[in-house]
Amino acid sequence: MLPRRLLVLSAAILCVSAQYTLAPALQAAQEFSNNPTAGDAPPTTNAQNLTDVATIIRTVTLVDQKSGAPADDTPPGLPQAPTMLTALDGEIIVSAVDGLNSTDTGPGRRSASDYGLVFNGTEANDAAIQGTAYLTYTLVSNNSAAQGLDECLDFCDNTPGCVFVNIYYEFNNELLDFVFPQKSNLRCVAYGDVHTASEKANQQLSPLPSEATNIQHSSGYTSALKEPAVPEGYELVFGPISAANNAPGYMGFAFLSKYNPSACAKLCNERGPDASGGACKYFNIWRALVYGLPTTYICAMYSATTDASTALNTGQGPLSVTRSRGYARISYIADGGFEAYSCPDGGDFCFAETAPGWNGTSAPGGYFDATVFHYASYAHTGAGVALLGCAFGSDGQMGTLTTTGPLRGLKRGRMYAVQFFYSSTYSGAELEKNAFVEVWWNGALVGSVPVGFSPWTYFAVSVVAVGGGYDVLQLKGGEAPAYSFIDDVYLFLL
């Protein structure tokens, strides 16, 4: 035992290329005794990337998401199209947000008495709405106005996400008169947003030729807005309010064809990680009004969680922010940042084998091979950080850091991502060349970081939960002096 310990220590001391020659516990103790505020230094990796409001506003002026019922031979009663992307990071694109089904906008079931008239149509020269969040249309009975309206509100009730209908007679349209089986000229058009009479398009100028297609009695009815379903794996942080976040950790934005938090959550989950901030952990969805008219639905993504205190953007010029909600991604690891571990006297430096939610263990013959430090100089963010490798440098055994207490809220059979940042630079390139970190899930090796010297780097691996509080995460590695630090561990639903 003793010769080995001496060997390791002398190897560490002899290596001239090393960043530190003392083991992490001794190094920190020495720095701390020389300067008790050494651990205070805020990490320098926290670049502040604020929301790019200018690009969002510029892109709002470029998209056209307004429509009515299609004029072509699209038959009535089709299921609505999925939520579409209409822009991504300032580029106009059109593509479906894959894998979402239309019920993700929330069930629409309600009673017809919940609807109110927004605007009443006119006898002649009327027009249909051209508005955002068009869902689908149908043809309803034109035997009596009351019966048609009843059928139309029923249709809205059964169309997920429907909050508004535009109902109107369309004369001289062959498709309605002769082709579609309903043989009715009373159109019922469902929307996922409320529109007003000022959004009637192509108001026809009179007099029209008697055979021209023309629209009469175009009215709008709306139901009370429902709180959208909270996306799985997220929690509502604030909203709805009329201000959008302007916050650090901004990762970009997308425009959506509908106000659909689940679609925004999916984009956040699939967003590539930021090199210093890691994965998307928060999104802000809001509706842009331009001159008071709904124009698009914005999904802004962030690698850091924020709240209503940074919701300072209420709009600019003709653009106003409405229905802004913030949602944070739930991490199922209690304290993946090791910030709950603090020093007894509120001090800046201490370390231990056990910390809230974590337990460090050593192999037989090893000592303090997996520890949690409260020392900002070692941390990726904040002051807490985990160390794999003997804190005293006195043995070359690998350490194991294990979650303690059940990981609550995991669902059996669902896939989750374990994510963290690791750093293996402590002893310098030569002594860190075999540094490794292994991720074990429920007793099985599920991933390893690339072996060797590495500055703070993001790592992620997916795992399947057994649920019921039985899942266990372990991080193994560090054969001193090949130390690895680990910080910002998250466990997210995929």
Binding interface with ligand NAG (CB under 6 A): 47, 49, 101, 103, 117, 120, 123, 142, 169, 176-177, 183-185, 249, 274-277, 303, 354, 359, 361, 404
* Nearer of residues 294 and 360 to ligand NAG, judged by Cβ: 360
* Nearer of residues 67 and 359 to ligand NAG, judged by Cβ: 359
Least Cβ distance, residue 12 to ligand NAG (angstroms): 27
Gap between the Cα atoms of 157 and 255, Å rounded: 26
* Nearer of residues 18 and 254 to ligand NAG, judged by Cβ: 254
Helix then strand then coil, in percent of the chain rounded to 5, is 15, 35, 45
Residue 152 CA: distances (Å) to CA of 25, 70, 136: 72, 17, 12
Least Cβ distance, residue 185 to ligand NAG (angstroms): 3
Based on its alpha-carbon atoms, the radius of gyration of the chain, rounded to whole angstroms, reads 30
* Nearer of residues 55 and 359 to ligand NAG, judged by Cβ: 359
Gap between the Cα atoms of 396 and 445, Å rounded: 21
Residues forming beta bridges with residue 216, ordered by sequence position: 169
| 183, two tokens | 């043989």
* Nearer of residues 200 and 287 to ligand NAG, judged by Cβ: 200
* Nearer of residues 213 and 320 to ligand NAG, judged by Cβ: 213
Let me know: does 368 contact 390? Beta carbons within 8 Å.
yes
Least Cβ distance, residue 80 to ligand NAG (angstroms): 13
Gap between the Cα atoms of 489 and 335, Å rounded: 8
Least Cβ distance, residue 475 to ligand NAG (angstroms): 14
Gap between the Cα atoms of 460 and 453, Å rounded: 18
Q: Which amino acid belongs to residue 204?
A: Q
Least Cβ distance, residue 330 to ligand NAG (angstroms): 18
* Nearer of residues 276 and 342 to ligand NAG, judged by Cβ: 276
| 353, two tokens | 């084998």
* Nearer of residues 68 and 252 to ligand NAG, judged by Cβ: 252
* Nearer of residues 412 and 433 to ligand NAG, judged by Cβ: 412
Gap between the Cα atoms of 304 and 347, Å rounded: 26
Least Cβ distance, residue 182 to ligand NAG (angstroms): 8
CA dihedral 366, 368, 370, 375 (to 10 degrees): -160
Gap between the Cα atoms of 78 and 131, Å rounded: 19
Collapsed DSSP state (helix, strand, coil) of residue 143: coil
H or E segment to which residue 60 belongs: helix 53-60
Closest CA to 152 of 182, 122, 107: 182
Residue 486 has, within 13 A of its CA and on its CB side, a CA count of 33
Least Cβ distance, residue 354 to ligand NAG (angstroms): 5
* Nearer of residues 34 and 144 to ligand NAG, judged by Cβ: 144
Let me know: does 82 contact 100? Beta carbons within 8 Å.
yes
Least Cβ distance, residue 303 to ligand NAG (angstroms): 5
The answer to whether the Cα torsion of 327, 331, 337, 338 is positive or negative is positive
Least Cβ distance, residue 17 to ligand NAG (angstroms): 28
Given the structure tokens 């009515």, which residue do they identify? Answer: 68
* Separation of CA 158 from chain center: 28
Least Cβ distance, residue 424 to ligand NAG (angstroms): 20
